[in-house]
A and B are shown apart, each in its own frame.
Chain A
Amino acid sequence: MKTIDLRGISCPTNFVKAKLALEMIDAGETVLFILDDGEAVKNVPRSLKAEGHKLLGLQEVDGHYELTLEKGEE
């Protein structure tokens, strides 16, 4: 599973980076995004869901968050 670290990147750049990263993989594949606490974890998952991707889970790890996601159809 590909891991994309979005820590230290503010909104909406983190979301745009996530979108660009998702362009590189196929629909149905799973990705792990690492997100900062606060605005990032509040906003990025919701925006990715609205783009048609499937959120699989969220876990807190040492003060940041790991979001697993399955890429949706184009």
Chain B
Amino acid sequence: MSEEKKSTAIDLKNLKAGGFIKERGKDLFTVRLRVPGGRMPVGRLQKIAEVAGKYCKEGMVHLSVRQSVELINVDFKHFDAVVAELGEGDQKVASCGARIRVPTACGGCEYNPNGLVDTQKSALEVDKKLFGTPTGHHKFKVGFAGCPFDCPKSATNDVGFQGAIWPELDKDICINCGLCAKSCSDGAIAMGDDRLPNFDSGRCTWCGDCVKVCPTEAWRAARRGYTVRIGGKWGRNPLVGTLFATFLPEEQVTDFIAAVLDWYVAKAEGRGRVRLGDIIIQVGTESLLEHLRDKFPAAVVASTIPPQIINTQVGQRSIPE
């Protein structure tokens, strides 16, 4: 009697961008879903719940720290069915590995009173145009915060964006109420002897509280965009990204990330699995500043400092040479 070998047919195209992560148990995988900015229509969430109910062996999902829904304990034999059924609800699978990951974002400006820019729009745009782009080296994370409260911790991303506005005062319509000075958390506005607010731009973090509170619209946003920090990461050897651009217009975000990626791909050549921040530390900030200044002269800062090393007090920091 001949032994019959069982074979499972899987569409390997589905696995190409990653998003299927091996679990401890035999045959079991986590399926990471693509949820840019962590926002989705309720109908899509219902579809996810339906698919999860069918294929997650223990009946559980995990909400990841980067705003994904992860279907856990999924048998690899069901990959095609999971992808197909999620697709009916317009839900795609995310990525893993050395690629541009799904961008994270806060709620943004539409309903959050602190939001200065449309982070949800930025996240969707970056997801659409850059998601899954291979870096050749290591993962590449992007995050958007709508204001300097920075709930998404933008500076821990390879490229992190923080909403900002530059306030400008029209003295003629100021009613000298002092609400702006009282509202400013950074001590950047003080009422002068002439009862007009004095603005110290060196102390400003660009949160826009003065503009929001001003009763007469005397304070207005003269510039709006993103404060951009580059080179952050977490993990074993954390780095906090540093300032490379200010007031980057929202419509330039995707091109800016693509330009950073170009530099990273070239400079990390032959270096293997090294994150952007470590490459900046080794190559120096000037090279990246110069590269970006070509395309974004109005936004790129004159000089900056390398990504800042966080001392975790455990082990010894090492970067592959």
Contacts and interface: CB of A to CB of B under 8 A. Distances in A.
B179 interface: yes
Contacts of B175: 56-57
A41 B183 CA distance: 7
- Pick from B178, B183, B212, B213 the residue with the most CB of A within 10 Å: B213
B209 interface: yes
A72 B185 CA distance: 28
Contacts of A42: 182-183, 185, 209
Given A42-B185, A47-B113, A50-B113, A57 B177 contact: yes
From A41, A42, A56, A58, name the one whose CB has the most chain B CB atoms within 10 angstroms. A58
A50 B179 CA distance: 14
A65 B182 contact: yes
A12 to B, nearest CB: 11
A55 interface: yes
A45 B185 CA distance: 15
Interface in B49-102: none
Contacts of B113: 46-47, 50
Nearest to B176: A57
Contact of A58 (B179, B185, B212): B179
A45 B177 CA distance: 12
B177 A49 contact: no
Given A55-B179, A58-B178, A58-B179, A46 B212 contact: yes
Given A41-B182, A42-B183, A50 B177 contact: no
Contacts of A45: 179, 183, 213
Interface string A59-74: 0100001000000000
B297 interface: no
B187 interface: no
B209 A55 contact: no
B215 interface: yes
A49 B182 contact: no
When A and B form their complex, which 5 residue pairs have the shortest distance between CB atoms, in order from nearest? A55-B215, A46-B213, A58-B177, A57-B177, A58-B179
6 contacts: A42-B209, A46-B183, A46-B209, A50-B212, A58-B177, A65-B182
Given A56-B215, A58-B179, 15 more contacts: A42-B183, A42-B185, A42-B209, A45-B179, A46-B183, A46-B209, A46-B212, A46-B213, A47-B113, A50-B113, A50-B212, A55-B179, A57-B215, A58-B178, A65-B182
